[in-house]
């Protein structure tokens, strides 16, 4: 195909320079086009639909059992004109259909450290939130991301970041959006449905170590958020409705080490994140039955710590520990006999993985997890995964 | 208060007076060249060291912060930095150094490229569409790069144009003399058969007339496997080589494995400035490269 391009089309100028290498952006292709193919095999001892104890009113992205095609992800990006750059990431659902994961425009010429992004994007909160699934170090997200952000917070809105002109990397950013992803409730109304503030700082320590630390704040108002199959004090599973304010604070830290700063041979990466969410408002208990509404507030939190070790070229192994705290809720008097206020259980999980990358563009992974996120339902999980990328050579974030 | 203001302005402007240009160089050879051409008119930051694989760098926060303050970014180009530089430049939100602007310079854009693939297929490994980007192993490439870079410095900082012109003229003269010296010293290397670990030496081979008979990486960017090393060892029976070359940042084990089993010398080359004790500057880089190659012949 490229022979043909070289011989017959005007693209030959870009693709087949006769002598010197003309300055190009990230690829000779315009736009840069890439496709990620991924799939997995999952073996679980427990039904993945059961949520973590104390988190029945949160999303439960769960896992797939048996052989399944993961999301294939198609990415297209290019400079639109001297002022704007566009990026679209389309997820091809294995069951058919295409969903828009990211579709945003970024400014390229604001200068003075300002970066404006608008459209649909992954929020800049935390560390893992902005990373696409193919760049994760495990085949799944930490429990805290699964329970508090439904794996990843995507937003329709705009984000403004400013990078300070300092020796050390210091970046502050803010977002306003629709409140599309959980815990937002995707309302159609004027104004902003959710807001995010974040600050990142980072630097090198000598040539072998580097780090980045961050703090974030997310606020939204949840309206008529319905949760089904929530256990109650009477031993039933009911449907509840919650409306109220949601405020989440987060802290994240990443530290990397490579001998001589050379990532090719070996490196270590340690990261940890903590999120704490306070929700307060009105809860309607058992909307299809008793339907009793009274005040409800709860503070949920969770954290994980993980380490990745590339012990030789092409081979990496990693260990992760996860913990959640469902908190103890303040339940209004009318519902005190119905709604479980304190589960007295902290969901945890320990995960180990090993992966092998024959080249920069392919990766094969085996992952084992000992999951105690559901009280009395210990689950040993096995995942086998492949991630392959084609097309434009993507540049990765830190 | 007045004194304090004076002290602050002195701090701010004295810095500016000493170094008009903040330069972000992707690789040590371009940092050294920029310093050579600009002297004290530029303050140069080097993003990578000789012990790091320039393909595999991450867009670290420190690099983004440095690019934010740069007036000029000097890199190899030809997709060598494709895995990290686009993110660094984008995140830096520095309008002065974006590709296509006067604050962005790619050395490969003025060099005659070798190994430009006629077939773009990752089945052939991590091929670079614009040709092999390891242009810094042939000292002759530094002449056009220095000339273009000097022009760029003049364009960005016209007040010091006379200095840049003078420094380029001096460098050009010294460099041409040094090339003549190295070529004389390296005469015994002409036609010598070598094995390379990564396909990173076509410019060096082309310059000195080294004859490359095998590569330890089965495909560019893929680690040498035991099976492939055995095949290379077998092929050396028929096409013997004198040396196996690797860059300072590369794992020594594959070359040493071959050197222990075949009558070839494993030679580690500095590859760029700082890659060995002798390669302290650009002149030292080639003094040491030629010396190590000659030693490998013995």
Where in chain A are the domains?
1-29, 44-65+106-391
- Give per-residue pLDDT as tens, B247-284: 998 889 999 999 999 889 999 999 999 999 999 999 99
Helices (H) and strands (E) in chain A, counts: 3, 18
The predicted structure's pLDDT at residue B91: 94
* Confidence category of residue B19, pLDDT binned at 50, 70, 90: low
* Residues of each domain in chain B carrying CATH 3.40.50.1980: 12-180, 186-297
Q: For A221-270, how does the pLDDT look when each residue is reduced to its tens digit (9 = 90+)?
A: 999 999 999 999 999 999 999 999 999 999 999 999 999 999 888 999 99
pLDDT, residue A9, reads 36
Q: What pLDDT band is residue A5 in, cutting at 50, 70 and 90?
A: very low
CA-based nearest residue in chain B for residue A260 = B51
Residue B9 has pLDDT above 80, yes or no: no
Token pair of B29 as six digits:
């050879």
Dmax over CA atoms of chain A, in Å, equals 80
**What distance in Å separates residue B239's CA from the closest CA in chain A?**
28
Whole-angstrom distance, CA of residue A387 vs CA of residue B7: 57
Q: Is B151 exposed, middle or buried (0-12, 13-18, 19+ CB in 10 A)?
A: middle
| Tens-digit pLDDT profile for residues A306-335 | 999 999 989 999 999 999 999 999 999 999
Q: Region A58-71: what's the mean pLDDT?
A: 89
What is A44-65+106-391's CATH topology? Porin (2.40.160)
Higher-pLDDT residue of A83 and A364 is A364
Q: Which residue has the higher pLDDT, A53 or A95?
A: A53
On chain A, the residues whose CB falls within 8 A of the CB of B52 are 260-264
B:7-66 residues touching chain A, CB 8 A cutoff: 48-49, 51-53, 55-62, 64-65
* pLDDT value of residue B8: 45
Which pLDDT score is estimated for A12?
Answer: 38
pLDDT band at A20 (very low <50, low <70, confident <90, very high): low
Q: How confident is the model at residue B1 (pLDDT cuts 50, 70, 90)?
A: very low
Q: Name every residue whose Cβ is closer than 8 Å to that of residue A64 and which is 6 or more positions away in sequence.
A: A40, A42, A48
Please tell me the distance from the alpha carbon of residue A277 to that of residue A275, in angstroms, as a whole number: 7
Asked if residue B16 has pLDDT above 90, the reply is no
Distance in angstroms (rounded) separating the CA atoms of residues A256 and A258 = 7
Superfamily of chain region B12-180: Nitrogenase molybdenum iron protein domain (3.40.50.1980)
pLDDT classification of B224: cutoffs 50, 70, 90:
confident
* Cβ-nearest to A111 among B84, B94, B221: B94
The single-letter DSSP state of residue A161 is: E
Q: Which residues from B are below 8 Å from A113, CB to CB?
A: 68, 92-94
pTM of the shown model? 0.89
Please compute Rg for chain B using Cα positions.
21
Q: Look at residue B7 in the predicted model and tell me its pLDDT.
A: 47
For residue A128, give both structure tokens. 């893992």
For residue A111, is pLDDT > 90?
A: no
Mean pLDDT score across all residues of chain A: 90
Contacts of B100 in chain A (CB under 8 A): 23, 82
pLDDT band at A19 (very low <50, low <70, confident <90, very high): low
What does the pLDDT average to over A1-6? 37
Predicted pLDDT at B124: 67
Tracing tokens 């092999």 back to the chain, one arrives at B132
pLDDT of residue A2: 36
pLDDT tens-digit profile of B104-151?
A: 999 999 999 998 887 777 776 667 778 899 999 999 999 999 999 999
ipTM score above 0.85: yes
> At residue B28, does pLDDT exceed 70?
yes
A29 pLDDT above the threshold of 80: no
CB within 8 Å: A169 and B222: no
User: DSSP labels for B3-44?
Assistant: HHHHHHHHHHHHHHHH-SEEEEESSHHHHHHHHHHHGGGEEE
CATH number corresponding to B186-297: 3.40.50.1980
pLDDT over 70 at A3, yes or no:
no
């Amino acid at each position: 195909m490229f022979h043909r391009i070289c011989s017959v089309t005007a693209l030959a100028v870009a693709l087949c320079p006769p002598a010197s290498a003309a300055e190009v952006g990230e690829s000779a292709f315009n736009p840069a086009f890439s496709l990620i193919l991924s799939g997995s095999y999952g073996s679980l001892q427990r039904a993945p639909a059961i949520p973590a104890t104390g988190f029945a009113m949160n999303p439960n992205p769960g896992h797939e059992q048996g052989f399944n095609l993961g999301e294939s992800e198609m990415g297209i990006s290019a400079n639109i004109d001297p002022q704007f750059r566009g990026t679209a990431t389309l997820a091809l659902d294995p069951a058919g259909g295409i969903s828009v994961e990211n579709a945003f425009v970024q400014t390229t010429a604001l200068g003075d450290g300002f970066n404006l992004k608008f459209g649909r994007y992954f929020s800049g909160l935390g560390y893992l939130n902005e990373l696409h699934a193919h760049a994760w170090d495990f085949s799944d997200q930490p429990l805290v991301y699964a329970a508090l952000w439904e794996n990843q917070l995507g937003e329709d809105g705009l984000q403004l970041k400013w990078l300070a002109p300092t020796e050390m990397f210091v970046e502050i950013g803010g977002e306003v959006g629709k409140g599309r992803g959980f815990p937002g409730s995707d309302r159609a109304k004027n104004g902003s449905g959710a807001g995010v503030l974040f600050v990142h700082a980072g630097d090198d320590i000598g040539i072998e170590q580097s780090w980045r630390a961050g703090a974030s704040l997310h606020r939204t108002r949840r309206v008529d958020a319905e949760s089904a199959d929530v256990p109650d004090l009477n031993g039933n599973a009911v449907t509840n409705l919650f409306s109220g304010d949601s405020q989440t604070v987060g802290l994240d830290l990443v530290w990397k080490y490579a001998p001589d700063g050379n990532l090719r041979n070996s490196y270590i990466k340690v990261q940890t994140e903590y999120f704490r969410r306070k929700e307060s408002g009105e809860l309607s208990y058992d909307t299809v039955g008793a339907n009793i509404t009274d005040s409800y507030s709860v503070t949920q939190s969770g954290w994980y710590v993980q380490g990745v070790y590339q012990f030789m070229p092409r081979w990496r192994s990693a260990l992760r520990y996860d913990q959640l705290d469902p908190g103890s809720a303040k339940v209004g008097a009318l519902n005190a006999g119905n709604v479980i206020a304190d589960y007295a259980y902290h969901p945890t999980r320990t995960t180990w993985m090993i992966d092998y990358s024959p080249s920069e563009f392919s990766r094969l992974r085996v992952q084992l997890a000992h999951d105690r996120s559901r009280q009395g339902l210990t689950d040993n999980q096995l995942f086998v995964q492949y991630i392959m990328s084609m097309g434009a050579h993507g540049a990765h974030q830190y | 208060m007045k004194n304090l203001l004076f002290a602050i302005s002195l701090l701010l402007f004295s810095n500016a007076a000493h170094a008009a240009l903040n330069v972000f160089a992707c690789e040590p050879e371009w940092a050294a060249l920029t310093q050579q051409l600009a002297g004290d008119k530029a303050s140069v930051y080097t993003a990578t060291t000789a012990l790091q694989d320039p393909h595999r760098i991450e867009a670290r926060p420190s690099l983004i912060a440095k690019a934010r303050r740069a007036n000029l970014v000097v890199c190899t180009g030809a997709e060598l930095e494709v895995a990290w530089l686009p993110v660094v430049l984008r995140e830096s939100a520095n309008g002065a150094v974006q590709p296509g602007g006067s604050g962005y310079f790619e050395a490969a854009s003025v060099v005659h490229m070798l190994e430009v693939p006629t077939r773009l297929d990752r089945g052939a490994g991590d091929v670079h569409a614009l040709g092999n980007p390891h242009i810094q192993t042939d000292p002759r490439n530094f002449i056009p790069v220095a000339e273009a870079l000097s022009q760029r410095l003049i364009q960005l900082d016209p007040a010091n144009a006379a200095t840049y012109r003078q420094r380029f003229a001096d460098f050009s003269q010294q460099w041409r003399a040094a090339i003549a010296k190295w070529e004389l010293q390296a005469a015994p290397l002409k036609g010598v058969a070598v094995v390379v670990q990564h396909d990173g030496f076509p410019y060096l081979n082309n310059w000195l007339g080294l004859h490359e008979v095998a590569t330890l990486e089965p495909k560019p960017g893929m680690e040498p496997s035991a099976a492939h090393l055995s095949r290379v060892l077998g092929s050396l029976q028929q096409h013997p080589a004198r040396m196996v070359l690797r860059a300072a940042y590369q794992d020594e084990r594959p070359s040493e494995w071959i050197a222990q089993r075949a009558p070839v010398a494993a030679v580690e080359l500095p590859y760029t400035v700082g890659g060995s004790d002798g390669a302290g500057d650009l002149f030292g880089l080639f003094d040491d490269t030629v010396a190590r190659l000659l030693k490998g012949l013995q």
